């Protein structure tokens, strides 16, 4: 995406990123901080979140918060507690980036275990739903809230062996569309990002034999992440965006 954000695009905005300790989520958190946002860093590995928090401080960003939460085992009550605790520390949320995700096994449907199916659905769908429900009151306090889900090309067109992950991303697209309709007359827009093949741990697990140097880095795909969190996307809702629109899905060739 060719997008030139203003350097203060996210000034005065408070943004929560899930899976903020690594990969695309880490890069998004650092990028949002560079453009002026205050961050809430949510993830399961506290040491990684603290490292991102320190990096934001080193860059001169606004003091950020960390929330350690394992989305695989979280409950509705825990998510509500996270939101209640946040409400004592911040006045509102202007953006939430649901980025944390679990790939699970790349295997034919016939071979998928129920446990793996459940884990992928739990992290990618159930926890995303529970966290969204809990955070909606804080998001609705913003006069220009942006809720962003993370999809995938296999969340739009099914692909053999992508099993639970692909189905979970179709569900993510559905969740985005339902919420976008529900809030279309309020100050909350809801959209999806499909990052496209990006150089991270998850990508390396899915395609261990590809040449990772042919992949975009998380930093390369940040223009879309910025666009959707800033006021330039204020009128966009119910849409699914590609961070790499011209990329063919699958292994890098
Ligand atoms: P990574 O595996 O590099 O990072 C995933 C992040 O999610 C990590 O910070 C991880 O935490 C966190 N996470 C995983 N499980 C949990 C959990 N149970 N509770 C809390 N946090 C958790 O993935 P990417 O950066 O590649 O992916 C980010 C998003 O983009 C995902 O939703 C993925 O499906 C999507 N995507 C990625 C593509 C790619 O090519 N990279 C392509 C299409 C979509 P920890 O560091 O502690 O493990």
Task: Kindly report the CATH number assigned to the domain that includes residue 63.
Answer: 3.40.50.720
In a domain, 253, yes or no: no
Instruction: Classify the C-alpha dihedral 84-149-174-164 as positive or negative.
Output: negative
The answer, yes or no, to whether residue 1 has pLDDT greater than 80, is no
Annotated active-site residue in 3, 32, 165, 225: 165
In a domain, 7, yes or no: no
Alpha carbon distance 73, 14 (integer Å): 26
| Tens-place pLDDT, residues 129-156 | 999 999 999 999 999 999 999 999 999 9
17 Cα to the center of ligand 1, angstroms: 11
> What average pLDDT does this structure show over 80-88?
98
Structural domain that includes position 190: 14-242
What are phi and psi for residue 70, nearest 5 degrees? Answer: -90, 110
Atom of ligand 1 nearest to the CA of 202: 2
Q: Which of 18, 24, 31 to mutate to test the pocket of ligand 1 (most atoms within 8 A of CB)?
A: 24
Give 3-state DSSP helix, strand, coil % of the chain, rounded to 5: 45, 15, 40
Q: Which residues of 31-70 are buried (b: 16+ CB within 10 A; e: fewer)?
A: bbbbbbbbbbbbbbeeebbeebbeebeeeebbebbbbbbe
Number of structural domains found in the chain = 1
In a domain, 247, yes or no: no
Q: What's the pTM value of the predicted model, to 2 decimals? A: 0.98
Please name the residue whose Cα sits nearest to atom 23 of ligand 1.
Answer: 202
Tell whether ipTM is more than 0.95: yes
User: Do residues 158 and 110 lie in contact, with contact meaning Cβ atoms separated by under 8 Å?
Assistant: no
Q: Which of 74, 202, 206 to mutate to test the pocket of ligand 1 (most atoms within 8 A of CB)?
A: 202
54 Cβ below 6 A of ligand 1: no
In a domain, 214, yes or no: yes
In a domain, 3, yes or no: no
- Bridge partners (DSSP) of residue 145 are 188
pLDDT at 89: 97
In a domain, 110, yes or no: yes
206 Cβ below 6 A of ligand 1: no
| Tens-place pLDDT, residues 19-43 | 999 999 999 999 999 999 999 999 9
In a domain, 5, yes or no: no
| Tens-place pLDDT, residues 103-112 | 999 999 999 9
In a domain, 248, yes or no: no
Please name the residue whose Cα sits nearest to atom 35 of ligand 1.
Answer: 150
174 Cα to the center of ligand 1, angstroms: 20
Maximal CA-CA distance, the chain: 51
The answer, yes or no, to whether residue 246 has pLDDT greater than 90, is no
Cα torsion at 196, 202, 203, 206 (round to 10°)?
Answer: -120
At residue 216, the 3 state secondary structure works out as strand
Calculate the alpha carbon distances from 246 to 68, 101, 242, 250 in Å. Answer: 36, 24, 9, 13
43 Cβ below 6 A of ligand 1: yes
DSSP classification of residue 96: E
Calculate the alpha carbon distances from 24 to 30, 82, 192, 198 in Å. Answer: 10, 23, 14, 8
237 Cα to the center of ligand 1, angstroms: 24
22 Cα to the center of ligand 1, angstroms: 7
Alpha carbon distance 152, 203 (integer Å): 12
Calculate the alpha carbon distances from 162 to 152, 157, 159, 207, 242 in Å. Answer: 11, 11, 6, 12, 19
Q: Is 3 considered catalytic here? A: no
């Amino acid at each position: 995406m060719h997008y030139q954000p203003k350097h203060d695009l996210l000034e005065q905005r408070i943004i929560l990123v899930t899976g903020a300790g690594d990969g695309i989520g880490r890069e998004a958190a650092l990028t949002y901080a560079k453009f002026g946002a205050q961050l809430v860093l949510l993830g399961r590995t506290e040491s990684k979140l603290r490292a991102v928090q320190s990096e934001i401080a080193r860059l001169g960003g606004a003091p950020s918060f960390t929330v350690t939460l394992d989305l695989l085992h979280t409950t509705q009550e825990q998510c509500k507690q996270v939101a209640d605790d946040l409400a004592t520390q911040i006045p509102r949320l202007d953006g939430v980036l649901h980025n944390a995700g679990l790939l699970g096994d790349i295997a034919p449907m016939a071979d998928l275990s129920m446990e793996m199916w459940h884990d992928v659905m739990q992290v990618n769908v159930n926890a995303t739903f529970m966290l969204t429900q809990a955070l909606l009151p804080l998001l609705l306090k913003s006069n220009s809230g942006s809720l962003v889900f993370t999809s995938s090309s296999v969340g739009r067109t099914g692909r053999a062996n992508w099993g639970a992950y692909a189905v979970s991303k179709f569900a993510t697209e559905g969740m985005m569309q339902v919420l976008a309709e529900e809030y279309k007359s309020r100050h909350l827009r809801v959209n999806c990002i499909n990052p496209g093949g990006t150089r991270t741990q998850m990508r390396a697990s899915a395609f261990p034999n590809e040449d990772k140097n042919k992949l975009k880095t998380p930093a390369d795909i940040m223009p879309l992440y910025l666009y959707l969190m800033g006021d330039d996307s204020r009128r966009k809702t119910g849409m699914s965006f590609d961070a790499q629109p011209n990329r063919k899905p699958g292994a890098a060739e």
